[in-house]
Structure formats: structure tokens, C-alpha cells
Amino acid sequence: MALRATIHKADLHVADSDRHYYGSHSLTIAKHPSETEERMMVRIIAFALQANEDLVFTKGLSDTDEPDLWIKDLTDAIKLWIEIGQPDERRILKACGRSDQVIVYCYGGHTSKIWWDGIANKLTRARNLQIISIPAAQANELNKLVERSMVLHVNIQDGEAYVSSDQGQVTITPEVWRSNQE
């Protein structure tokens, strides 16, 4: 019998003074059996950092043709494609061809740096690509906030995200390893 996804609910309240975005989102997150809680929480942080009324979680790990999150317009064109982890360069280039903007959020510390150093030269022509690293220790700290039903408050100011819940608080300082070159 195949393992089933674990469902988590999150009431996410985002106050992003950098982008002047303020909103609340009721999220249902399906955590794939092979997914760690840390990766799931990085998905939620990526959602908060890019929060938009049209941003949605996709089938993610269950469907190799979809990213972890995306924004589509009314014509079904992909405006934003968000990957979590360390996708290979073919997947990234395919995403760059299908979407207006691609963001990869990696969180593996030294292994992410090795991954990025290994593929950076192969992605020079991808002008709509952004690579953002969540420091490994900070990503790991997100584990203490995990609950099946969560209320998360994310305040973003000066490039830092302050994530809090009843379980505690974590400060996330994303590092931009590559910004859009358009």
C-alpha cells in the first residue's frame, strides 16, 4: 500500500513592508511521504516571501511537470515558477522557457553551495532566473514551528523574514545567489 500525504493546515499572515504586501492566507499543505518537515516549511516561507493572491501550491513532488508553487494568469500562462531544493539544470531551463520568472529556493547549506557552483555556468542564458538560499541553520530552526494546524505570522522587513507562532520565533535571512538579469 502506498503511503499517503500528510495534510497540514496553516493560517499564514504576511506583513511584507519591503513589497507593501499585507495579507492572510488559509493554506492546505500536502506533505509528500518523502518530504521532510524542513522542506515543507521552506515551501511555506517561499510562499510568504512571494505572497500574492494568485500564488498557489501545486502537486509538487507528486507531479514532475509542476513546480512547488506557481502563479498563472487567466490565459493559463505561467507568470512565476518556484522550485524548492536543488533541481537539475535541465529542469530549471525548462521552467525558464515556460514561465516569465523562475525562483529556486535552496536550503541545504554547504551542499546547496556545491550544487549551485556545479550548475551556475550552465544557466548563464536563463535571464529570468533567481536563486535564493535559506541558510541551513535557519531552515532547520523552522522545524520547531511545525504543527498539523499552524498559525504563522511572517513579518518581512529589510530583506529579513521574522516567522512566529505559538511554538516560537525564527528569523530567516535569505541570501540572493543570483538575481534576475532581465
Who's near 36: CB < 8 A, 6+ residues apart? none
CATH superfamily name and code, 6-178: Restriction endonuclease-like alpha-beta roll domain (3.10.640.10)
Q: Which of 94, 99, 60, 92 is nearest to 76 (CA)?
A: 99
The residue to which cell 500564488 is assigned: 55
pLDDT for the residue 182: 47
Cα distance between residue 62 and residue 68, in whole Å: 10
pLDDT for the residue 62: 57
Who's near 12: CB < 8 A, 6+ residues apart? 24, 25, 26, 27, 44, 47, 48, 51, 152, 154
- Residue spans of the domains in the chain: they are 6-178
pLDDT for the residue 1: 53
pLDDT for the residue 160: 97
pLDDT for the residue 32: 86
pLDDT for the residue 150: 96
Give pTM, 2 decimals: 0.93
φ, ψ of residue 114 to 5 degrees: the values are -60, -45
> What is the residue type of 166?
D
Cα distance between residue 95 and residue 58, in whole Å: 14
Instruction: Give me the residues of the chain with pLDDT under 50, please.
Output: 182
Per-residue pLDDT reduced to its tens digit, 28-46:
998 988 899 999 999 999 9
